[in-house]
């Protein structure tokens, strides 16, 4: 029988869940985030890593995307492969989604679930649906 705080009952050990949230965090299920906190799943968001820096000029969108990928790559390959996480605000583009898929493949890992909010971008829904994820608004979608 699954524990009360198990977000993926009968699927995988809850502490190893790898969940991606598509769309804004405001539309994410409060129950899912409470469960993630109770299981001590790492919540990762590249928006929290942005700092003002010392540059007086804002970077170009391409430079911003490259720096986000660099930060996320460093985090992804530094963590233990069996450590669970909840990833929000990433991937933000189709390129980032494809790069993230390559990272998962290189470590022989896969996502446990995808949560798609009502404001999830259409490209993300199409991309993850093509990989075999059933996406439903606000629900966990198991591979």
pLDDT of 115: 80
pLDDT averaged over 10-residue windows placed end to end, the chain, 143 residues: 48 71 70 68 72 58 82 92 86 91 93 82 90 63 42
CATH of the domain at 94: 3.40.50.300
Q: Identify whether 72 is part of a domain.
A: yes
Task: Give the 3-state secondary structure percentages of the chain, helix then strand then coil, rounded to 5.
Answer: 40, 15, 45
Q: Identify whether 82 is part of a domain.
A: yes
By the 10 Å C-beta count (0-12 exposed, 13-18 middle, 19+ buried), 77 is classed as exposed
Domain encompassing residue 37:
14-142
pLDDT of 143: 41
Cα–Cα dist 51/60, whole Å: 15
pLDDT of 141: 44
Q: Identify whether 103 is part of a domain.
A: yes
Q: Identify whether 1 is part of a domain.
A: no
Q: Identify whether 6 is part of a domain.
A: no
Cα–Cα dist 96/15, whole Å: 25
Q: Identify whether 4 is part of a domain.
A: no
Number of domain units in the chain = 1
The DSSP code for 20 is: E
pLDDT of 52: 47
Q: Identify whether 24 is part of a domain.
A: yes
Q: Identify whether 5 is part of a domain.
A: no
The whole model's pTM is what?
Answer: 0.73
Question: With b meaning 16 or more CB within 10 Å and e meaning fewer, what string describes 23-50?
Answer: beeebbbeebbebbeebebebbebeeee
């Amino acid at each position: 029988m699954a524990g009360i705080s198990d977000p993926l009952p009968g699927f995988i050990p809850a502490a190893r869940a790898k969940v991606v949230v598509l769309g804004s965090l405001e539309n994410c299920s409060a129950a899912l985030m409470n469960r993630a906190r109770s299981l001590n799943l790492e919540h990762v968001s590249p928006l929290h890593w942005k700092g003002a820096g010392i540059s007086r000029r804002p970077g170009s969108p391409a430079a911003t995307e490259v720096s986000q990928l660099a930060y996320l790559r460093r985090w992804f390959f530094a963590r233990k492969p069996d450590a669970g996480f909840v990833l929000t605000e990433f991937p933000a583009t189709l390129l980032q989604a494809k790069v993230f898929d390559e990272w998962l493949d290189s470590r022989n890992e896969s996502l446990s679930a995808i949560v798609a909010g009502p404001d999830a971008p259409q490209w993300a829904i199409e991309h993850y649906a093509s990989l075999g994820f059933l996406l439903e608004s606000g629900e966990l979608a198991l591979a």
